[in-house]
Each structure stands twice: as C-alpha cells, then as structure tokens.
Amino acid sequence: MTTFQELGVPQGLCDAMAGKGIKVPTKVQEQAVPAVRSGHDVIVQAQTGTGKTLAFLLPIFEKIKVQAEVTQALVVTPTRELAIQIAKVAAILGRAVDVSTLVIYGGQDIERQKKKLRRHPQLIVGTPGRLLDHLRRGTIDLSQVNKVVLDEADEMLRLGFIEDVETLLGKTAQDHQLMLFSATIPDRVRTLATRFMRQPEEIVVKGEHVTLDEIDQVIVSTTEETKLDRLCEAINAEQPYLAMVFCHTKTRAHMVTMALAARGYLVDELHGDLSQVQRALVLKRFRGAELQILCATDIAARGLDIEGVTHVFNYDIPHDAESYIHRIGRTGRAGQRGKAVTFVNARQYDLLRRIESGIRGRIRKEMSERGRRHKEKQAKILQEIREKREEQKKKRKPLSKYANRKGSAHKGRNDRSRRQKHSVVSNQGHRSKFGKRH
C-alpha cells in the first residue's frame, strides 16, 4: 500500500493530514500528485468523493515559495460551498508549511476581502464572479500566479462560467500550469484544454464502488420549518443507542443541541469552537453512553472511532459524496449494522443525485412518522367513502322497466313521460318547408 511519504509529500504536510485521520492516499492522489508535481498541464477525471482536493493541493503547497509574498496559486470553483470546503483543507495544510491562504466568494463583505488581499495571500480559492469583481476594481493581482486549478470544471461549464474563466486565465502568468479536475470531460472542457493547455497529461480514475453494505441509508423529505420535528420523530421511532447529528456550521450544531436539550434529550455538541479539554470531555461522555446524541460539524466525521454508534442523522445534507461517506461511516463499524438518515428539502435533490453518483447507488426514500400517519388517515377516509358508496348502491331503488336501455341521463326516473313531451312540442306548432306556421 502506497503512503504519502512514498509519494514524496513533505513530512509537515503528512503530519497535518495524519492529525485529521488521513494516512493513506486514494487512487486519484497516487496518480495525480506526481503528475502535478512534474509541472505539466493535467486533466484529471474522477468522481466526486475520490479525494481530488488533496490531489492538487499537496503538490501546489510543495511548489509555493514561502519567502515570496505574492499570490502564486489560484483555485477556481463553481460554488461558494465548494470554495469554502477547499479553503478549509488549504488552511490546515497552509499552517503546516507557513503558506497564507484566502477564500473569496460572493455574499461576503467586499471591503473586508480587499483588506485581506492587501496581505498578499499566496494561495487564493474563489468563485469566478467575485474574482472578476476584484479584477475590475484592481484589488487583486494574478500576474504572478503560475498554478491554476479549475475544480469541477464540468459543473462550471454547466453554470455558464466559461467566459469568466477565460478572462481569469488571461490575467495569470503566461507560463502558468493549468490543472482541470472534473467528474466528466464534456466537449467544451476539451475545447478549453486545446486553447489554454500545452500537451496536457490526462488521468482517468474510474469510480470505485463504495461499500456501505452494513449501513441502511434512507432520505426523509422535509422543510426547514419542520426539520427539527422530523428529527425528533426519527429519534423517537428509531430509539438509537448512540446517535450523531451532523450540521454544516458550529452555530447550527449549537442551535440543534439547545433545541434537543429543551425537549429532554441527552445531547451535547462537538465543533471547532470547543477547546481540546472540552472536546475530550464530550467524547468521553459520549463513549460512556452518558449522552445519547452528539451534534457535530464535519470535524467529527474524520478520525473518530466510537463503538456503539447505531445511527447517523444528516440534519444538513453534505456538500459531496466524500463528506457523506465520512459522516455515515461513523456507524456500521466492526461488522455491526447501522442506519443513516439524511434530511432533504425540495431544493437539494440535485445535490442528493451528486452524492448518489459518488457512492454509485440510490438512497431509499423513507416516509416520516407523521407522513405515515397522514397516509394511513387518508387511506382510512377513502375506504369509508367506498363503503358508503356501496351501501348507497344497495339501497337505491331498481330501475323502471321503461328505462332507456342505452343509458340516458334520466335512468328510468324521469318525471315527465315521452307522451307529455310530445304534447308540449305539438302545442308549440311547427314550421313547414315554406316557412308558414301551422
């Protein structure tokens, strides 16, 4: 089995990854790290959740000149969520080798971003729109950038960022190294490669089947307003021995913890704002089953091996398959069965499909307890309606022998006879073919 040391990764970066529980490279990292280190342009095709982030960050950090206080590397992503995720990994690695990093995306205070850009971060992660905004304002200098990564290039094209990317590439150093990482390589990505890359090396890593056979995976449709109630319903129905509830942010984890505690659950929180002593105490109580529920951010998804976790609840759906796998991997360990419940609202089904693509499988949809009761109630009402209709049919009087056999509207119960109808028409008279009334 290959190690990061065998790939030539500096010891400082290896120690930083080991601190997060990452000790063995994935297949895409084994192939991409040497290719990127060589300085060649590369196109890497690999499914979401295969470890592409480290595949380009590790060799980039090796090549950054710490003494040069200029921006030397740029990572462009289609969404702010992906930018934040990559920036978190970059910040950890950057601290280990004394490289400054910065994340830039829309929705942030632009004045604060300008202030941080004056410190000349050596690696910038950002979205195309906000990066171009800073270019127009003259607050960012990309002229010394010699390493550019386009992550999820296929998604970027789908969202219509290709023109923005071309503008950004035109502002970087002429001898820059360009790296494209994508789940698929559509024609427009290849066109971009032809225009901006010099004899790129192409790496294709086929997605491996993620083995999650010991974990029963389900999704529950909900809304933000009813999500907490759905979580409590699921906890009450499943009765977990130990359960982990994953949230995106520290604030969110704290909010869910307080809400569950107010409803009488044995719960505590685990996130980056806690000191090492506090984290150790919380984990000790959770391992000892003094707590039933642990609300955590993704900091708890890696490197934790806690026996007895029977359930994982994704209160906030993960951003990618890799995070999903690490989260639900806290249960179903050592041959034991586990269950993972993911709450999804109507706007998150595209994200769910990407996760399913990454794990190469479909996740079963499960109805909530309230939904089941509502469906049973509806079925009961429909059954009562059917029974009432059957009783009405039995009580209905039989049709007259004079009923129209062709099934006319009166069904044999017309109050007016055909003779009466004829007499009324006769009294009204009729017109001859000469138009005279008789």
- 158-217 pLDDT tens trace: 667 778 888 898 899 988 999 998 877 777 777 777 778 888 888 888 654 445 677 899
Give the highest mean pLDDT range of 278-282, 304-308, 357-361: 278-282
- What CATH number labels 11-205? 3.40.50.300
pTM of the model: 0.55
Dump pLDDT digits (tens) for 97-118. 999 999 998 877 889 999 999 9
CA distance 420 to 402: 15
Q: Where in the chain is the domain with CATH 3.40.50.300?
A: 11-205, 215-370
Token pair 């006879």: residue: 417
CA distance 41 to 177: 5
Would you tell me how many other CB atoms lie within 10 Å of the CB of residue 171?
Answer: 15
CA distance 378 to 374: 6
Give Cβ neighbours of residue 284 (< 8 Å, ≥ 6 apart): none
Topology (CATH level 3) of domain 215-370: Rossmann fold (3.40.50)
Quick check: 372 pLDDT over 70?
no
Dump pLDDT digits (tens) for 400-411. 655 555 555 555
Q: What are phi and psi of 118, to 5 degrees?
A: -65, -15
Token pair 């002229």: residue: 143
Give Cβ neighbours of residue 248 (< 8 Å, ≥ 6 apart): 297, 298, 316
Residues forming beta bridges with residue 218, ordered by sequence position: 341, 364
